[in-house]
A and B are shown apart, each in its own frame.
Chain A
Amino acid sequence: MTTDSTFRTEMIEAREAPNQSRGVIGWFRANLFNGPINSIVSVVVIYLIARLVWPFLEWAVIDADWIGTTRDACTGDGACWVFISARFESIIYGFYPEAARWRVDIVFALLAILVAWLAIPGTPRKKWVALFTLIVFPIIAYFLLVGGSFGLEYVPTRAWGGLMLTLTIAVVGIVGSLPLGIILALGRRSKMPFVKGICVIFIEFWRGVPLITVLFMASVMLPLFVPGNLDFDKLLRALIGIMFFWSAYMAEVIRSGLQAIGKGQNEAGQALGLSYWHRTGLIILPQALKMVIPGIVNTFISLFKDTSLVLIIGLFDLLAIIRAGLTDSNWLGFSTEGYVFAAAVFWVFCFSMSRYSQYIERRLNTGHKR
Chain B
Amino acid sequence: MLRPSTTLPRRGRGPLWRNPAIRALIVQAVLFLVLAVFIGYLVHNTLLNLEARGIHTGFGFLEGRAGFAIPQTLVEYTSDSTYGKTFVIGLLNTLLVSALGIVAATIIGFVVGIARLSPNWLLARLATIYVETFRNIPLLVQILFWYYAVLRALPSPRQSLSLFDVFFFNVRGMVMPDPQPLNGFAATPWALALAVVGAILFGLFAKRRQASTGQALPVYWIGAALIIGVPLIVFLATGSPLEWVVPKLTGFNFRGGINILPELLALWLALSIYTAAFIAEIVRSGILSVSHGQTEAARSLSLPEAITLRKIVIPQAMRVIIPQMTSQYLNLIKNSSLATAIGYPDLVAVFAGTTLNQTGQAIEIIAMTMAVYLVISLTVSFLMNLYNARTLLKER
Binding site for B on A (CB under 8 A): 31-32, 34, 38, 41-42, 45-46, 48-49, 191-195, 198, 204-205, 207-213, 216-217, 220-221, 223-228, 301, 305-306, 308-309, 311-312, 319, 323, 326, 335-336, 339-340, 342-343, 346-347, 350-351, 354
B91 to chain A, nearest CB (A): 13
Q: Are A198 and B140 in contact (CB under 8 A)?
A: no
Which B residues between 90 and 118 are near A, CB-CB below 8 angstroms?
118
* Chain B residues whose CB sits within 8 angstroms of the CB of A216 once the complex forms: 348, 352, 356, 366, 369
* CB < 8 Å neighbour of B119 from A38, A208, A351: A38
- Provide the bound-state CA to CA distance between A350 and B341, in Å: 22
* Chain A residues whose CB sits within 8 angstroms of the CB of B136 once the complex forms: 301, 305, 346-347, 350-351, 354
B201 within 8 A of A: no
- Provide the bound-state CA to CA distance between A198 and B34, in Å: 13
* Chain A residues whose CB sits within 8 angstroms of the CB of B28 once the complex forms: 192-195
* CB < 8 Å neighbour of A319 from B49, B122, B133, B140: B140
Q: Are B374 and A209 in contact (CB under 8 A)?
A: yes
- Provide the bound-state CA to CA distance between A216 and B24, in Å: 37
Q: Are B377 and A208 in contact (CB under 8 A)?
A: yes
Main SS at interface, chain A: helix
Q: Are A210 and B141 in contact (CB under 8 A)?
A: no
Residue of B nearest to A194 (CB): B28
* Chain A residues whose CB sits within 8 angstroms of the CB of B144 once the complex forms: 319, 323, 339
A-B contacts, 21 listed (Cβ < 8 Å): A41-B123, A194-B28, A198-B35, A211-B334, A213-B366, A216-B366, A224-B363, A225-B46, A227-B48, A305-B138, A308-B138, A309-B140, A311-B140, A312-B338, A323-B144, A335-B149, A335-B152, A343-B138, A343-B142, A350-B136, A354-B132
Q: Are A224 and B50 in contact (CB under 8 A)?
A: yes
Of B31, B132, B363, B370, most buried by chain A (CB within 10 Å of CB) is B370
Q: Are A198 and B139 in contact (CB under 8 A)?
A: no
What 6 A-B pairs are tightest by C-beta distance, nearest first? A350-B136, A208-B377, A31-B121, A210-B334, A305-B138, A336-B149
* Chain A residues whose CB sits within 8 angstroms of the CB of B24 once the complex forms: 191-192
* Chain B residues whose CB sits within 8 angstroms of the CB of A211 once the complex forms: 334
Number of A-B contacts (CB under 8 A): 157
- Provide the bound-state CA to CA distance between A38 and B340, in Å: 44
* CB < 8 Å neighbour of A208 from B123, B139, B348, B373: B373
- Provide the bound-state CA to CA distance between A305 and B334, in Å: 15
Hey, what's the 0/1 contact readout for B359-393 against A, CB within 8 Å counting as 1?
00011001001100110111000000000000000
Q: Are A194 and B133 in contact (CB under 8 A)?
A: no
- Provide the bound-state CA to CA distance between A347 and B120, in Å: 27
Residue of B nearest to A309 (CB): B140
- Provide the bound-state CA to CA distance between A354 and B131, in Å: 12
Total interface residues in chain B, CB < 8 Å: 55
* CB < 8 Å neighbour of A213 from B27, B132, B337: B337
Binding site for A on B (CB under 8 A): 24, 27-28, 31-32, 35, 42, 45-46, 48-50, 52, 118-123, 126, 132-133, 135-142, 144-145, 148-149, 152-153, 334-335, 337-338, 340-341, 348, 352, 356, 362-363, 366, 369-370, 373-374, 376-378
Of A213, A336, A346, A347, most buried by chain B (CB within 10 Å of CB) is A213
* Chain B residues whose CB sits within 8 angstroms of the CB of A46 once the complex forms: 122
Q: Are B149 and A339 in contact (CB under 8 A)?
A: yes
- Provide the bound-state CA to CA distance between A192 and B20, in Å: 11
Residue of A nearest to B360 (CB): A220
Given contacts A208-B373, A312-B341, contact A213 B348 (CB under 8 A): yes
- Provide the bound-state CA to CA distance between A223 and B360, in Å: 13
- Provide the bound-state CA to CA distance between A166 and B46, in Å: 31
* Chain A residues whose CB sits within 8 angstroms of the CB of B356 once the complex forms: 216, 220
B110 to chain A, nearest CB (A): 16
- Provide the bound-state CA to CA distance between A210 and B152, in Å: 27
Q: Are B122 and A32 in contact (CB under 8 A)?
A: yes
B281 to chain A, nearest CB (A): 11
* CB < 8 Å neighbour of B369 from A45, A49, A213: A213
* Chain A residues whose CB sits within 8 angstroms of the CB of B142 once the complex forms: 343
* Chain B residues whose CB sits within 8 angstroms of the CB of A228 once the complex forms: 45, 48-49, 52
- Provide the bound-state CA to CA distance between A8 and B152, in Å: 79
Q: Are B374 and A205 in contact (CB under 8 A)?
A: yes
Q: Are B118 and A41 in contact (CB under 8 A)?
A: yes
A342 to chain B, nearest CB (A): 5
Q: Are B46 and A210 in contact (CB under 8 A)?
A: no
* Chain B residues whose CB sits within 8 angstroms of the CB of A34 once the complex forms: 119
A299 to chain B, nearest CB (A): 13
Q: Are B145 and A32 in contact (CB under 8 A)?
A: no
